[in-house]
Chains A and B, each alone.
Chain A
């Protein structure tokens, strides 16, 4: 079936872990937009959710770091973090090994993707799922793009990966929803945590909504690091979704810096039927 949903959202651990420290009104509007994303995914009739994440050393380390990896298991456990710190209880999310295998097989036709039958979720996936599938009743296909351990996955390869994901999603009979999580600009887990370059974020989201491939690939890591922090490297997940959306126009449903969450909180999606 053709891809039924494509969107992006933030995943910072403070969104759940420090929920009570944010302005209740601003946080409420953000959560409302995440609820809207959940409703849209449910309305799409999705039978599986592919989550393109930028994991934080939950599964992969510099002893064997893939540029791309996909999970291929019937279930996934998380979070690896202390549940009291993240304020997400330990959970087991369903997977679909057979579906993953078919998706991986198709992606491999153009992109060398690693696969793993063992995969633990950290906040990069656990936080989005907390809002998008709170009952853990939708099979998940986890995906990782290396945004953490340099040398990082090149942006144009993240784009090619997104195109391959779309081709794979369209080729299987199941209805597939796709969500990318990450960034945008932020300096997470440093003493500068909370810093956000709002102007940079808004310019990026403008490019994302126009689904302007040339503009979205017109970044380099040195500039991103200087202007958007090491957290900005996670734009790779957003780019993969843009490529998968194949030119569809996007809409920002929510954007606001929430400093205690350490990121400009974002919810956006593409209109795949435009």
Chain B
């Protein structure tokens, strides 16, 4: 089990088009060929292949790395945030790192409190 190895794989995937292509073609084989594959637990491999954004957030993956990974998978913003919340509900608080939850009423409530109007397409 290695948060470092999990993040290293995501770091490389986020920035390397060749690796992205191989991952798209065969996630399991690409993960098996990762230079730190031996440091990954079965749960971590499954989360990286899934992708299981909620579990990766629970593990403590840096949010910036995770956000780019979610975007790579075409996960919409609101869905991305919900997957992280679901991951915490299912697996418990963030294990380590600085990307823990601290409590927030949410964007809509906050925008209303500020007196903002809803956005509109093409704004």
State the A residues within 8 Å of B (CB): 13-14, 17-28, 56-59, 61-63, 80-82, 85-86, 120, 122, 148-150, 187-196, 225, 229-230, 256-260
The residue on A at minimum CB distance from B100 is A190
The residue on B at minimum CB distance from A262 is B107
Interface stretch among B8-16, B25-33, B37-45? Answer: B8-16
Please give, as numbers and ranges, the residues of chain B lying within 8 Å of A17 by CB-CB distance.
77
Q: Which of B64, B66, B101, B121 contacts A192 (CB 8 A)?
A: B101
B104 x A194 contact (CB < 8 A): yes
Given contacts A23-B117, A120-B15, A193-B81, 9 further A-B contacts (CB under 8 A): A17-B77, A20-B123, A56-B64, A58-B14, A80-B14, A191-B84, A191-B85, A191-B104, A259-B111
B114 x A259 contact (CB < 8 A): yes
Please give, as numbers and ranges, the residues of chain B lying within 8 Å of A81 by CB-CB distance.
14, 68, 71
* Total A-B residue contacts, Cβ distance less than 8 Å: 124
B101 x A190 contact (CB < 8 A): yes
A47 to B99, CA, bound (A): 39
B65 within 8 A of A: yes
A-B contact pairs, 27 of them (CB 8 A): A21-B119, A22-B116, A23-B118, A26-B116, A27-B119, A56-B67, A56-B68, A57-B65, A59-B15, A62-B7, A63-B8, A80-B14, A85-B74, A189-B66, A190-B57, A190-B63, A190-B101, A190-B102, A191-B84, A191-B88, A191-B104, A192-B104, A195-B102, A225-B98, A256-B114, A257-B110, A260-B107
A57 x B110 contact (CB < 8 A): no
